Amino acid sequence: MSTPLIRAWYAIAVAFAACVVIALAGVGYTNHVQRQADRRSTAERADSDRRWCALLVDISRGQREAPPKTESGQRFAEEIDQLRREFGCPNP
């Protein structure tokens, strides 16, 4: 037969184990959701970069065909070219 002391320790141990299981499940679920969010964010960024590449390549192509003559136009062309390289876009 069990004594009230043994039943109390058993209840405490079961409650503690349940808390540990719930905490581990919470950590696991949080990690799972974070990985999904990271993948979604990476995909959205790649899609955004791809759309910017299309625009930057078109602008760079136009600037190569008719180079800017003013100093500010040349700086603008250099900045556009720098952005195109940073995004990893192909050369026009």
Please tell me the predicted confidence (pLDDT) of residue 16: 97
Domain that holds residue 73: 4-86
Q: Tell me which residue has tokens 């008719």.
A: 66
Domain assignment present for residue 48? The answer is yes
Domain assignment present for residue 16? The answer is yes
Phi, psi of 90 (to 5 degrees): -70, 160
Domain assignment present for residue 18? The answer is yes
Please tell me the predicted confidence (pLDDT) of residue 25: 97
Domain assignment present for residue 65? The answer is yes
Judge if pTM exceeds 0.85: no
Per-residue tens of pLDDT for the chain, all 92 residues: 578 888 889 999 999 999 999 999 999 999 999 999 999 999 998 888 888 888 888 888 888 888 888 999 889 989 998 998 888 888 87
Domain assignment present for residue 91? The answer is no
Please tell me the predicted confidence (pLDDT) of residue 48: 85
Q: How many domains does the chain have?
A: 1
Domain assignment present for residue 92? The answer is no
d(CA 63, CA 82): 13
28-62 core/surface letters (b: 16 or more CB in 10 A; e: else): eeeeeeeeeeeeeeeeeeeeeeeeebeebbebbee
